[in-house]
Structures are given as structure tokens and as C-alpha cells.
A = this chain, B = another copy of it.
Amino acid sequence: MIRVERVIHGRPYIETKDGPRFKPCAPNSVLARLGDKWTILVMSHLAVAPGHRLRFSTLKGGIEGITQRMLTLTLRNLERDGLLVRHYFPEVPPRVEYELTEMGASMLPALEGFTSWIRENWPRIVDCRHAYDEAQQRAEDQDAPV
């Protein structure tokens, strides 16, 4: 069986007799990180901050509903990926600042392109969800009419 490796829409895949088969999506783990509950909000704050730099308490105060634990975890994960760096000042009380790395900042345009699409289409998505849910509801009502 011949397996030719190609690239389309920028994605590598293997052409088989059953159609294209994409290789297991490694970069998916990046999207998984960004898709979690708080990461985008953290990145957005740093994006608009002077010097792409903010301290822990400012982030916590600026993100409604985030707990200390989740902010810490989110920042650790971003630091692990090399998207931001942690600056620790051993004063009393201690002060910690987080700053986007060059790589972190380089992600902003791509991120912006995506969120911009979301903003434009969000109302329509909401409508679709409602329509779908109501159609679903009507179907159930018909299956079990009281």
C-alpha cells in the first residue's frame, strides 16, 4: 500500500486509499491549553498590559471569578510552555510579576485572528445552539407526550 505524505491547509497528512489520514494532532495540546477556562483571559490581560507584564494580584483582581489556585495553575502551565516568565522579588510582602516571552507575544496576532472570527460569529453560534436545543426538545416531547 502506497502512503504518500502531503500537506494541505498547512496540515501534514498521509494519503491512503480510504482518503486522507491526519497524523495524531500533537499541537492539539496547545489548543487544549488555550481552550481551558482561564488561559485566554490571562493572555488577554498580559497582551494589553504595559510591557506585557503584570503582577499576580493584578491578574487576580482583573479576572472575575478566578480563584488563587486556578490562576496559579494557569500561570504555571503557560510558564512551562515558555509563553511567559515568572519574576520573583523576595521582598516582604513578596511580589511576583509575570511577563510574556517573545514567543508568547508572537502568538498574539494569531490568537487575535481567531478570537476576531469568534466575535463576529458568536451571535450566530448562540442562535444556532438555541435553535438546535429547541428542535431537540420538540422531538423529545413528541416521543413522550405526557
**Given A22-B44, A32-B35, A35-B33: A9 in contact with B108 (beta carbons within 8 A):** yes
Q: Verify B107–A18 contact, CB threshold 8 A.
A: no
Q: Are B64 and A21 in contact (CB under 8 A)?
A: yes
Given known A-B contacts A106-B117, A118-B27, A22 and B10 have beta carbons under 8 A apart: no
**Are B22 and A62 in contact, CB atoms less than 8 angstroms apart?**
yes
Choose among B32, B61, B115, B133 the residue that contacts A10 (Cβ–Cβ < 8 A).
B115
Q: How far in angstroms is the closest Cβ of chain B from A23? A: 8
Q: Would you call A80 and B128 a contact (CB within 8 A)? A: yes
Q: What count of chain A residues pass the 8 Å CB interface test?
A: 64
A68 at the B interface (CB under 8 A): no
Does A88 touch B at the CB level, under 8 Å? no
Point out the residues of chain B lying under 8 angstroms from A80, CB to CB.
Answer: 128-129, 132-133
Contact residues of A with B, CB < 8 Å?
8-11, 13, 18-22, 24-28, 30-37, 40-41, 44-45, 47-49, 54, 58, 61-65, 79-82, 103, 106-108, 110-119, 121-122, 124-125, 127-129, 132-133
Given contacts A31-B40, A35-B36, 10 further A-B contacts (CB under 8 A): A9-B44, A9-B108, A9-B112, A10-B119, A19-B61, A20-B45, A28-B37, A31-B31, A81-B125, A110-B113
